[in-house]
Each structure stands twice: as C-alpha cells, then as structure tokens.
Amino acid sequence: MVATSGGQKVVIIPHSAGALFFLHFMKWVEAPPPIGGGGGPYWCSKHIKAVVNIAAPFLGVPKAIPLFLSAESKDISLVRAIAPGFLENDIFQPQMLQHVMRLSHSWDSTVSMIPRGGDTIWGSLDWSPEEGYSCDQKREMKNSTRVTNPARAKSAISLTRSANFGRIVSFGKDVAEAPSNDIDRIDFKGAVKGHRAENRTCRDLWAEYHGMGFEGTKAVADYKTYTAESIVELLHF
C-alpha cells in the first residue's frame, strides 16, 4: 500500500480480534527471519502513520470462556436463531457440531481473549463497571441539550443491577440473578475429577467436559457462578 500510494504511510484500522493480531504482526514484521518477517527495527515507523482500533478486546471478552470450554458460545446461538433447524437437522447435526467444535478449538486467539484484569475490571458477584448503565436508555432533546428522562433512567438502572454482569459464567438464570448471599457454592478446586465421560457424540473430538470427568464436571457446576478471577482458577482446574 505504501508503494502504490507514492510512499505515503498508511493508516491501519483493525477491528475486534484483528487488533490483537495486528499487535503480533508489528512484532513479527520487524523480527529477524526465520522467526519474523525481517523488516528491520524501523519497518513500522516507515510504513504506518497511525493505528485506529475499533472494538479491540485488549482486556479480553467474556464469550471466549464458553467457546474455550465447549464451543457453546453466543455466536453458535445466533447461528441457530438465524437458521433454525439447520444445526438440529438429523442429517447435518453431528457433522455441524463436530465441525464447529473442531474449528473453535483450533483458534489460538481464543486464549488471548480470556478476560484479564480480574474483578477490578470485570466486576465481582455483586458489582460490575456497567452497574447503572443501560444501552437502551433514551434521552430527550431540550434546548439543544440532551436530558435524561429520570423515570426511564431509574427503571433502566434497576434492570441493569439485576443482571450482575460481573458473573461471567452462571449455571442457571436463577443463579445469575440471585443475591450472592443466597447462592450455596461448593469449592471445586479440591474435587476429584473421577471417571471420564465416554465420547459418543463427537467421536475423535474431545471437549474439556470429557477431560474433567463426571465428578469434575459436577464440581464445576456446583460452584454455581464465576467471575473473571475464578474463571482463571477454573481453567487451571
């Protein structure tokens, strides 16, 4: 692009996970071969004028956790909503599920998008940075100034507080919405994983559920809900 634009530097606009990839690219392109691209220590400064990231998950993204564990991510649910019956079709279901799981487990980028920063960034069982904020909150225009409708704002805040965004993974809607004092949690870290589940659905493809075994899977579920910090402990488990 620099060569075709008369030597002018380019502006790079990475989106989503592409921002993480581009960070690796800038390191790779200046590193000496065979590990890197051999561009030299000043390649980026010679060719890149600016980098404008859009929706970059530098602190990770919660949906990476279910994708990493079992390929049961939000995106798979959206596909089922867009094309109902396709993934559940008697002809395609086993092959589609197997393909989706194999594809998602082959993405090394999934690990780089695990939420980082702990509860300080993502929130705890009873608190999150999004508390009191609503994306659907409408505002009225008055004297060229946006004025928030107090009644709608109060309603939006009450609804947002019940969501408990700090609970990245919850086993059940009742657990996701219940006060933390009402949740009976059993620590999973000392649990014995026990016998492994026989893989009959995906054949040669194994999910983390199979590796944990029956007792290990039950122990994870008995912990009920996970924050950003306990998710890291879960991955170690």
Mean pLDDT of all residues in 190-211: 60
Q: How far apart are CA 72 and CA 7, in angstroms?
A: 46
pTM: 0.66
DSSP 8-state code for residue 170:
E
Do 105 and 222 lie in one domain? The reply is yes
Do 109 and 188 lie in one domain? The reply is yes
Q: How far apart are CA 220 and CA 227, in angstroms?
A: 13
Q: Which long-range contacts (CB under 8 A, 24 or more apart) does 37-45 make?
A: none
- Which amino acid is located at 128 in the chain? S
Report whether pLDDT(229) > 50. yes
pLDDT in tens, 130-172: 776 666 555 555 555 555 555 555 554 444 445 788 998 888 8
Do 23 and 69 lie in one domain? The reply is no
| Tally of domains within the chain | 3
Domain presence at residue 3: no
Q: How far apart are CA 45 and CA 47, in angstroms?
A: 6
Do 176 and 204 lie in one domain? The reply is yes
Report whether pLDDT(80) > 90. no
Do 35 and 77 lie in one domain? The reply is no
Helical segments of 126-237, H only: 150-161, 173-177, 208-222, 228-236
Domain presence at residue 217: yes
Do 171 and 119 lie in one domain? The reply is yes
Of residues 85 and 237, which shows the higher confidence score?
A: 237
Q: How far apart are CA 115 and CA 122, in angstroms?
A: 8
Do 105 and 140 lie in one domain? The reply is no
pLDDT in tens, 13-61: 999 889 998 999 999 999 999 999 999 999 999 999 999 999 999 999 8
Do 69 and 185 lie in one domain? The reply is yes
Residue 97's φ and ψ, nearest 5 degrees, are -60, -45
| Domain with 153 in it | 132-163
Q: How far apart are CA 23 and CA 197, in angstroms?
A: 39
Report the pLDDT value the prediction gives residue 64, as an integer from 0 to 100. 83
Report whether pLDDT(194) > 90. no
Residue 204 — pLDDT band, cuts 50, 70, 90? low
Domain presence at residue 2: no
Report the pLDDT value the prediction gives residue 192, as an integer from 0 to 100. 75
Mean pLDDT of all residues in 164-187: 88
> Average pLDDT over the chain, rounded to whole?
77
Q: Which two structure tokens, joined as six digits, stand for 205? A: 């493809």
Report the pLDDT value the prediction gives residue 233, as an integer from 0 to 100. 87
Do 157 and 174 lie in one domain? The reply is no
Domain presence at residue 173: yes
Do 114 and 141 lie in one domain? The reply is no
Residue 80's φ and ψ, nearest 5 degrees, are -65, -35
Domain presence at residue 59: no
Mean pLDDT of all residues in 217-225: 87
Report the pLDDT value the prediction gives residue 30, as an integer from 0 to 100. 95
Report whether pLDDT(69) > 90. no
Do 103 and 173 lie in one domain? The reply is yes
Domain presence at residue 1: no
| SS3 assignment, position 194 | coil
| SS3 assignment, position 237 | coil
Domain presence at residue 4: no
| SS3 assignment, position 197 | coil
Domain presence at residue 86: yes
E strands, 7-121, in order: 10-12, 48-51
Do 108 and 215 lie in one domain? The reply is yes
Report the pLDDT value the prediction gives residue 157, as an integer from 0 to 100. 47
